[in-house]
Amino acid sequence: MSRFACVWVDWFTAAAAERCEPALRERPLVILGVRVDSPTAGAAAPPTANTTIIDANAAARAEGVRPGVTETEARARCPALVSRPWAEAHVASARHALLEAALGVSPRVEDAGAGIVHVDAAGLTRLHGDAAAVGRRLLRQAERVGFAARVALAESRTVARLVAANASGSLTVVPAGSEERALAAVPLAALGLDAHLATALAQWGVRTLGELAALPRAGVAVRLGPAGLCAHDRALGRDREPFRAWTPPPFWEEAQGLEWEVDSLGALTLVLECVLERLCARLAAAHLAADALDVRLELAPGGHHERTVTLAVPMGEAGPMLALVTLELEAHPPGAAVTRVAVSARPVRARAGQGGLWQPPAPALRDLGAVLVRLAELVGPDNVGSPALLDSHRPDACALLAFAPPHEPDEVSDDGSEHRLVLRRVRPARGVAVETDGERPARVEGRRVVACAGPWRASGEWWDAEAWARDEWDAALADGVLCRLAHDRLTRAWHLDGVYD
């Protein structure tokens, strides 16, 4: 089994923009930056700023557009060129997304640069199969987060990276012992040597890594020093640096900059949908779910509009998240037009569950979360939750806690015990007219009481304005109804507290 894999994405800055706008993949695209040119010596003119090409996708490069040329020259070569400004947030989130995708295959990954991820593949055969199966899994993971990548597997990171960078196919497996042969035809430019070293090797007639590897090592050390030895090691496929494992950041964020000002919720929803889809793809690749979302909107006049959407249950689907965020923004709209959208998730491990065999199916957790948010919009967030009994003798003493999905009920055994009555509480308690014989109820709304038990007297909080005192009676009426009556000793009112089934 090959020990290391390399995931390689060409022209990563352009790929990060395509990830935000998938329609750009079929069009020639360039990423623009600003280059400041200093005046010539003795000139009094101030420095000039020129818009230059930072990166270009495959379609633009096919038209002869390369990084470093000006925008004017690029458009002369390709009139159909589409441009986007360089956005640090897009590149950073795309870089994290690729690392997180690889982390879903192996617990040890290394950030080797923009669009380059090293993966420790040792021991993955038990999980995914042979080396080719591991490579296919990495390709699928990269595709899930929006990248068309190439993957190579070899005995060292250096071989895997150089092969992946120069391969013609999407997956290459280098057998053990054939590393030098795999690198022999790779151009020397793949090492990215400094100009002085590259010139010296070119004067010697060295054009490929195979030719560099064939040079005597002692002579390379004498003529070229440490830099030459480092290049010689890389041509031989040797790793000189230790593996530096990457750990995920404490937050997961996706952002989208806008070239226009969005002042309607409908248009903002379309942008949020794209951002949430990318965020959910990252969470799914790492087998995580979101527990809450932090939405940050940059406004045209300056400043920000921030909202936090707490999810009732961890979820990883973009649709329900979009509905919840839209409802939150409907209730709390931004004060001005929006120029940038950023959404970060608070990740948690998704909890797996299984329904009971003899119970009706419970609603889907994502649907339950959407219902809770809609209820909160109707009655207020302080009026939605789960009741918890308080340590008090006061009837119905409870507090409202944040809702959590119920656990599976404990199994109840059928031990043949006698049937027990169930009291169905009436909430709120309904006032009733009760005729008494002394203290005992005799008639309830005209119906004769044939038997009764009680009173059960309770009171409390006599030191406070919320003092209470009541008597409870169980009464059997002439029409067969068995009910619970409550007599408020402070107001002298009677209430129907419940009915027995």
Q: Where are the domains of the chain?
A: 4-38+46-173, 184-235, 252-348, 423-500
Instruction: Write the DSSP string, 296-312.
Output: EEEETTS-EEEEEEEEE
| Eight-class DSSP state of 497 | E
Tell how strand 440-444 and strand 398-401 pair up: unpaired
Burial 60-72 (b: 16+ CB within 10 A, else e): bbeeebebebebe
Overall average pLDDT of the 252-265 stretch: 85
Percentage of residues in the chain having pLDDT higher than 90 = 20
CA–CA separation, 251 vs 291, rounded Å? 12
Tell me the pLDDT tens digit for each residue of 16-74.
999 888 888 889 999 988 654 555 444 455 544 468 889 999 999 999 998 988 888 98
Tell me the pLDDT tens digit for each residue of 87-108.
888 888 899 899 989 988 998 9
The answer to whether the peptide bond before residue 187 is cis (omega within 30 degrees of 0) is no
Tell how strand 289-299 and strand 338-348 pair up: antiparallel
Q: Which of 112, 109, 114 has the alpha carbon at shortest distance from 93?
A: 114
C-beta of residue 105 within 8 angstroms of C-beta of residue 124: yes
- Per-residue pLDDT for 416 more than 80? no
Tell me the pLDDT tens digit for each residue of 201-223.
988 899 999 999 899 999 888 88
Mean pLDDT lowest among 41-55, 129-143, 279-293, 384-398: 41-55
| Eight-class DSSP state of 168 | S
Q: Which CATH class is domain 184-235?
A: mainly alpha
CA–CA separation, 499 vs 485, rounded Å? 9
CA–CA separation, 364 vs 354, rounded Å? 12
> What integer pLDDT is reported at residue 48 of this predicted model?
44
For tokens 């090409």, the residue is: 53
- Per-residue pLDDT for 129 more than 60? yes
- Per-residue pLDDT for 456 more than 80? yes
> What integer pLDDT is reported at residue 413 of this predicted model?
46
C-beta of residue 293 within 8 angstroms of C-beta of residue 321: yes
Contacts of 366 (CB under 8 A, 6+ apart): 313, 315, 317, 319, 320
Question: Which comes out higher in pLDDT, residue 411 or 165?
Answer: 165
- Per-residue pLDDT for 2 more than 70? no
Give φ, ψ of 194 to 5 degrees: -70, 160
CA–CA separation, 192 vs 215, rounded Å? 19
Strand partners, 36: 49
Overall average pLDDT of the 138-159 stretch: 92
CA–CA separation, 138 vs 64, rounded Å? 31
Mean pLDDT lowest among 15-24, 279-288, 301-310, 398-407: 398-407
Mean pLDDT lowest among 141-150, 152-161, 284-293, 383-392: 383-392
Question: Which comes out higher in pLDDT, residue 482 or 461?
Answer: 482
At 443 the three-state DSSP class reads strand
How many angstroms separate the first and last alpha carbons of the chain? 68
Tell me the pLDDT tens digit for each residue of 343-367.
999 888 766 555 566 666 666 665 6
Tell me the pLDDT tens digit for each residue of 314-342.
888 888 899 989 989 998 988 889 998 99
Is the pTM higher than 0.75? The answer reads no
Mean pLDDT of the chain: 84
Percentage of residues in the chain having pLDDT higher than 70 = 88
Q: Which of 97, 60, 104, 62 has the alpha carbon at shortest distance from 82?
A: 60
Tokens of 314: 């961890």
> What integer pLDDT is reported at residue 405 of this predicted model?
60
Q: Which of 316, 402, 359 has the alpha carbon at shortest distance from 104?
A: 316
Tokens of 198: 């590259």
C-beta of residue 120 within 8 angstroms of C-beta of residue 246: no
> What integer pLDDT is reported at residue 392 of this predicted model?
79
What is the sign of the dihedral through the CA atoms of 219, 220, 222 and 224?
positive
Alpha helices in 297-350 (DSSP H): 318-331
CA–CA separation, 446 vs 369, rounded Å? 47
C-beta of residue 329 within 8 angstroms of C-beta of residue 268: yes
C-beta of residue 285 within 8 angstroms of C-beta of residue 145: yes
> What integer pLDDT is reported at residue 150 of this predicted model?
93
- Per-residue pLDDT for 158 more than 60? yes
| Alpha-carbon distance values, 419 to 49, 414, 416, 480 (Å) | 88, 11, 9, 18
CA–CA separation, 213 vs 184, rounded Å? 8
CA–CA separation, 115 vs 102, rounded Å? 12
Calculate the dihedral angle through the C-alpha atoms of 63, 18, 169, 161, rounding to the nearest 10 degrees.
Answer: 110
C-beta of residue 294 within 8 angstroms of C-beta of residue 252: no
> What integer pLDDT is reported at residue 419 of this predicted model?
59
Instruction: Write the DSSP string, 227-274.
Output: HHHHHHHHHTT---S--------S-EEEEEEEEEEE-SHHHHHHHHHH
Fold of 4-38+46-173: MutS, DNA mismatch repair protein, domain I (3.40.1170)
Name the strand (E) or helix (H) holding 386: strand 386-389
CA–CA separation, 204 vs 200, rounded Å? 7
Fold of 252-348: Dna Ligase; domain 1 (3.30.1490)
